[in-house]
Structure 1
C-alpha cells in the first residue's frame, strides 16, 4: 500500500508541476491568467490511499499590470469583463488580449484573427445590435457647408472708410476682412470672405464675397454700450448661388459672442461645417471602446463599440487555446456592456494587459513541489529497501 500511496503523491505533484510550469511559460503572455493546483486526499472505504490534484483555480479576477504599446488599436481592460470574438465556427470566445487589427474586408479582428464583437453604430449615437464590427473601406462622401460660427471683435476705434461705396477689390473701402473655407455638395472648396465696414453709430455692416465675387447680401451688426451684440439674435442665412454642377450653396452664419470693444479687431472663432470627400487612412479605439475610422479629409466616424462580456461565474470558464475562454453551463449567460458601463471594466488606450503571473510565487511553489516529489520518492526507496531486507531474511 505504501508504494501506491507514494506513487499517487508523485502523480499529484507531477500534475501540479504542469500547472506551475505553464504559469512560468506564460509569464510574458499578454492577457494570461495564472492557475493554482488544488490537492485533496484519496480515501478508499475507511483507508487513506494517497493524494490527487483535484482541481485548478484560475485567477480570473486578478488583473495584470498594463504596458504601453502606442498601438492605436490596442486597449487594456481593467476590472471585470472580457473582449468577445467569434471564431470561424461561430463559437463565442472571451479574452483579455486587447490587440485588434482590421482586415482587407474591413472586419475588426482580435490578435488571433477572430472577428471582434461589438455594438453597431447608429445615426443617433445610441448603441445598436451586437455583431461583427466592420469598418467601411470606401470613401466618405462630401458634405456641403451649411453653418458657420463666427466670433470676433469689431474694434470700436474704427473710423469710417475713406472710400465709398464698398468695393471688395479696394481695401480702403472696408475696415477688416476674414476668409473661411467652405465646401459645396460636390466637396469643391470655395472661399467665403466677410468684409467688415464701420456703420453709423455702434453698428458694423458686413458684406460678403464667394471666391472673390461679391454676393448681393449685407448684414448689419448692432452693438450695445457695453460692446455686446444686440442684433442679429439668430443666424443669418446667406444664399451664395449655385456652384457649377452642385446644389445651391446656403450657409447660416451665427455671430453670437461677437463684440465691439476698443483695441485691435480679432477673430476668436471661425468654425464652418462641411468637408470634401475622403478616403480611409486609419482606425483607432478610444477609451469608450469605440472603433473610430479616420479619413484623409480630417473627418472621423464611429463604426462600432467593443462589447465587454461579464459572466455570473467567471471562475468556471473553460480555458481554450490562444489565451481565451468559452462559456459553459456553470458560467451562466454572458451579459454585455460598453466599457465603463454596468459591470464592465474600463479601458486604457495604447496599452495591453500583461500576464498576472507572480514569478516569485511560482518559484517558491516550484521548490515546494520539488521537495514533495523527493519526499515521495524517498518513501518508494525506503519501501523497496524494506522489501529487499524481508526477501533476504526468508
Structure 2
C-alpha cells in the first residue's frame, strides 16, 4: 500500500463533492443541467513487464459529464418566459449595437442556453439576463418594433346583414336634407373607416326599400352624402331564396349571380386633416332579405389606426407574435433552435450558457417543432433537472469514500511508523 492511492482517492472524492455541491447550488436555476463526476482507475506503465499482476496507483476524474435530460416545465405569469419541451437550445449572441455585427472580442460569441427568462431591451431586442440577443432561425437577432404598428387605410368592407322583407316601400330619398327625413329610409347604421394616416372616419349607411325585392343604399360622411346624393348601391333580391341576385354600385357597374363580387364604394373626399379614401370595395354576398327586423350580423373593415407596442408572445413553433394597442398582431420574427450530435461535448461558460466545441460538433439549426427539435411553451420555464434527493444520497456516498481514503493514508502512516521504530 502507498500514499498515492489514498491521496488520489481523497482528491477525486473532493472533486466529486464539488460536483455534487454545484448541482445542489443550482437546483433552483432555470435551464441548469446536473453534472456527474465519472472516475477512471490509474496504472503505472513499465517496460518489459507482463502486467498480469499490476497494482493500480489510484483513481482520477475521467470526466465531469453533464446530464442533458429534460427538466420539468413550470408555468409563470410572465409571457416573456419561454421553455423548450424536447431537444434543442436557444441561440444567443453578443451583438455590437453600433456596427450591427457580431462582437468578436470575447471567446464563444455565439452561445446556447436552455434558460428562457427573456426580456426586451430599450432597442427592442429580445435578450437574456446576460444581455445576449436571442437569434432567429436564420441566425439574426430578433428585434421587435417598439415604435408601434403603422396605420392602414380601409380597402375592403364586409357586410353581413338582414333587411326586413316586410317593410313598406319608402318614399323617394331626399338627398337635399341631412339628416334624412323619416320615412325615406327603413334602416340605418354607422361604421368607422380609416384614412391612410389612421384618422377615424364615421361612415353612415341609410337603407331604403325602393321596390319589391329591391333596396337602395345611401352613404354619408360628415353631413355630406356620397355619390352626389344618389344611391351608392342598389340590391335586387331573389324572392325564392331571399338572397341578392344583382348589386349595382354608384357608378352603374352591376354584379350578378350567386357569390356576388364586391361593389365599389364612392370616394370619400378629403376634408380638414382627413385624406381621401378611395378604392374601397364592399362585399354584400352575405346580405339577406328575410321577414323580421333589419339587423347587423357583421360590419367589418380592413383599416386601423396607428397602434403602440403592447406585448409579444411566442407560439409553440417559435413565431414571435407582436401585439399592438390597435388590435393588430404581426409576426415579428421566427425564433430558432440549435441541437448537437453530442450535447455532452458542449463547454459550459456560466450564465446558463454553453458554447460548441469539436467534441459537440457543429450546431444543427432549424425552427422549433421541425424534425427532432422540441416545441416551445410560452409563459413557462424549464426547471433544473437536479434531483435533490439523489444528490444528497450521492453526497453521503462521496463523504464515506473520502473517509475511507483518509483511513488508507492513516494505515500507511502507521505501517511506516512501525518500520521506523524497528531496532
Match of 2:269 in 1: 242
Match of 1:148 in 2: 157
Match of 1:174 in 2: 185
Match of 1:209 in 2: 220
Residue 308 in 1 paired to residue 337 in 2? yes
Deviation at 1:185, TM superposition (A): 1.5
SS in 2 for 1:44: coil
Runs of 4+ in 1 over 6 A off after TM superposition: none
Match of 1:93 in 2: 111
Contact map agreement 1:143 1:186 (CA 8 A) in 2: yes
286, 297, 314: which is aligned to 1:285? 314
Give runs of aligned pairs for residues 129-140 of structure 1, distance below 5 A.
129-140=138-149
Question: What CA distance in whole angstroms lies between the structure 1 residues aligned with 2:89 and 2:298?
Answer: 43
Residue 55 in 1 paired to residue 63 in 2? yes
Deviation larger for 317-326 or 165-174? 165-174
Residue 356 in 1 paired to residue 388 in 2? no
Match of 1:123 in 2: none
Contact map agreement 2:148 2:307 (CA 8 A) in 1: yes
Q: Call closer, same or farther: CA 1:229–1:70 in 2, change over 3 Å.
A: farther
Residues 22-42 of structure 1: CA deviation (Å, up to 9, x unaligned): 110000001001111111111
SS in 2 for 1:377: helix
Question: What CA distance in whole angstroms lies between the structure 2 residues aligned with 1:118 and 1:82?
Answer: 12
Deviation at 1:166, TM superposition (A): 5.2
Contact map agreement 1:144 1:249 (CA 8 A) in 2: no
Q: Call closer, same or farther: CA 1:248–1:286 in 2, change over 3 Å.
A: same
Question: What CA distance in whole angstroms lies between the structure 1 residues aligned with 2:70 and 2:153?
Answer: 48
Match of 2:80 in 1: 73
Question: What CA distance in whole angstroms lies between the structure 2 residues aligned with 1:298 and 1:316?
Answer: 46
Give runs of aligned pairs for residues 99-138 of structure 1, distance below 5 A.
99-119=117-137, 129-138=138-147
Q: Provide the TM-score with structure 2 as the length reference.
A: 0.85
Deviation at 1:85, TM superposition (A): 0.7
Deviation at 1:21, TM superposition (A): 0.7
Q: Call closer, same or farther: CA 1:193–1:388 in 2, change over 3 Å.
A: same
Question: What CA distance in whole angstroms lies between the structure 1 residues aligned with 2:361 and 2:169?
Answer: 78
Deviation at 1:327, TM superposition (A): 0.7
SS in 2 for 1:24: helix
Contact map agreement 1:210 1:240 (CA 8 A) in 2: no
Residue 321 in 1 paired to residue 335 in 2? no
SS in 1 for 2:57: strand
SS in 2 for 1:48: coil
Give runs of aligned pairs for residues 8-47 of structure 1, distance below 5 A.
8-45=8-45, 46-47=54-55
Match of 2:235 in 1: 221
Question: What CA distance in whole angstroms lies between the structure 2 residues aligned with 1:165 and 1:87?
Answer: 69
Deviation at 1:248, TM superposition (A): 4.1
Question: What CA distance in whole angstroms lies between the structure 2 residues aligned with 1:59 and 1:172?
Answer: 80
SS in 1 for 2:359: coil
SS in 1 for 2:407: helix
SS in 2 for 1:250: coil
Deviation at 1:200, TM superposition (A): 2.4
Question: What CA distance in whole angstroms lies between the structure 1 residues aligned with 2:184 and 2:410?
Answer: 111
Match of 1:125 in 2: none
| Alignment root-mean-square deviation, CA | 2.0
Residue 184 in 1 paired to residue 192 in 2? no
Q: How many residues align?
A: 383
SS in 2 for 1:16: helix
Residues 91-111 of structure 1: CA deviation (Å, up to 9, x unaligned): 100001112222222222122
Question: What CA distance in whole angstroms lies between the structure 2 residues aligned with 1:228 and 1:131?
Answer: 53
Deviation at 1:322, TM superposition (A): 0.3
SS in 2 for 1:239: coil
